[in-house]
Amino acid sequence: MKNILKSHHIIKIFTLCLCLLVQSQTVTAQWWKDTEKAENERSKGMLLLTNEVQIEATTAINHMYNFKFYEAEREFGYLKVKYPDHPLPDFLLGLMEWWKIVPNTENALYDEKCLGYMDKSIDKAMKIWDDSENPEAAFIMAAAFAFKGRLHSERKHWSKATFAAKNALKYLDKSRSFADFSPELMFGDGLYNYYFYYVKENYPLLRPVLWLFPKGDKPKGIKQLEKVSYNAFYTRTEARYFLLQIYGLENMNDKALDLSKYTHEAYPDNPFFHRFHARCAFVSGRIGEAKELSKSILAKIDEHYPGYEGVSGRYAAYILAYYAYNYDKDYKTAKEYYQKTLTFAKNTGTTNSGYYWSSMLALGKIASQEQDYDTAIEYFKQVIEDTDRKATQRDEAKKLLTEAKKARRKMK
CA proximity to 149, closest of 133, 128, 163, 169: 163
CB atoms within 10 A of CB 174: 17
**Does position 412 have pLDDT exceeding 90, yes or no?**
no
97, 306 contact by CB (below 8 A): no
Which pLDDT score is estimated for 45? 44
What pLDDT sits at residue 181? 56
pLDDT above 70 coverage of the chain, percent: 83
| Amino acid of residue 135 | P
DSSP 351-410: TTSHHHHHHHHHHHHHHHHTT-HHHHHHHHHHHHHHS-TT-HHHHHHHHHHHHHHHHHHH
Mean pLDDT of 376-386: 95
Mean pLDDT taken over the chain: 87
What pLDDT, on a 0 to 100 scale, did the predictor assign at position 173? Answer: 87
- Residue spans of alpha helices (H) in 203-349: 207-210, 218-231, 236-249, 253-266, 271-283, 287-302, 310-326, 331-347
Q: At what angle do helices 2-43 and 51-65 cross, to 10 degrees?
A: 70
Helix spans in 109-181 (H): 111-132, 135-154, 158-174
What share of the chain in percent tops pLDDT 90? 69
pLDDT at 260: 98
The pairs formed by 111-116 with CB atoms below 8 angstroms and a separation of 24 or more are 111/151, 111/155, 114/147, 114/151, 115/148, 115/151
pLDDT level of residue 10 (50, 70, 90 thresholds): low
| Phi and psi at residue 304, to the nearest 5° | 60, 40
- Would the pLDDT of 410 be above 90? no
pLDDT attached to residue 24:
43
In terms of phi and psi (left: phi > 0; alpha: psi -120 to 50; beta: otherwise), the region of 329 is left
* Long-range contacts at 119-123 (CB < 8 A, ≥ 24 apart): 119/144, 119/148, 120/87, 120/90, 120/94, 121/87, 121/88, 121/90, 121/91, 121/94, 122/87, 123/87
Q: Is 80 exceeded by the pLDDT of residue 363? A: yes
Taking the C-alpha atoms of residue 180 and residue 113, their distance in angstroms, rounded to an integer, is 31
CB–CB of 86/288 below 8 Å?
A: no
pLDDT value for 390: 86
| Predicted pLDDT of residue 209 | 65
Q: What are phi and psi of 352, to 5 degrees?
A: -100, 20
pLDDT surpasses 90 at 5:
no
Closest CA to 213 of 224, 200, 202: 200
**Number of residues that make up the chain:** 412
8 Å CB contact between 295 and 307: no
Task: Determine which of 23-32, 314-323, 367-376 has the lowest per-residue pLDDT on average.
Answer: 23-32
